């Protein structure tokens, strides 16, 4: 077993939000009218911004008090519901 410290529960949640943000942001360019070089530039800059915000969020999350993971489960479920709903609503031409 490795001797890695256990991550703070809020830090794990920030990582989850960052990962799903990258997925949603990348998905938003699928049926885009932009050219390939422009899409690539938007993706590189967008992902860089998301990663920087995620790193800042994790730094702030480490300063919060530790809570049990079971208390964060509703937060995960609400976020996952909004995330999946955003895909469903974007397929019909409106967004949240």
Q: Which two tokens stand for residue 9?
A: 């529960």
What the block records as the tokens of 40 is 């690539």
Instruction: Calculate what percentage of the chain has a pLDDT beyond 90.
Output: 43
**DSSP per residue over 14-40, as a string?**
HHHHHHHHHHHHHHTTTT-SS-HHHHH
Can you give the pLDDT at residue 50? 93
Q: Which residue has the tokens 């990962």?
A: 19
Kindly tell me the sign of the dihedral angle through the C-alpha atoms of 81, 13, 65, 73.
Answer: positive
Q: What is the mean pLDDT of residues 83-96?
A: 67
Mean pLDDT of the chain: 85
Q: How many angstroms from the chain centroid is the CA of residue 72?
A: 16
Q: How many CA atoms lie within 13 A of 24 on its CB side?
A: 20
Write down the pTM of the prediction: 0.77
The predicted-structure confidence for 37-79, as pLDDT tens digits, reads as follows: 998 999 999 999 999 999 999 999 989 898 888 889 999 999 9
* Residue 87 CA from chain centroid, whole number: 14
């Amino acid at each position: 077993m490795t001797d890695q410290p256990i991550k703070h529960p809020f830090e794990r949640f920030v990582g989850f939000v960052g990962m799903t943000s990258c997925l949603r942001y990348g998905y938003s360019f699928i049926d885009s009218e932009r050219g390939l070089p422009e899409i690539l530039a938007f993706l590189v800059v967008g992902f860089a911004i998301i990663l920087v915000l995620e790193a800042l969020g994790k730094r702030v999350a480490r300063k919060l008090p530790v809570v049990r993971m079971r208390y964060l489960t509703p937060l995960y479920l609400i976020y996952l519901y909004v995330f999946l709903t955003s895909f469903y609503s974007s397929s019909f031409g409106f967004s949240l």
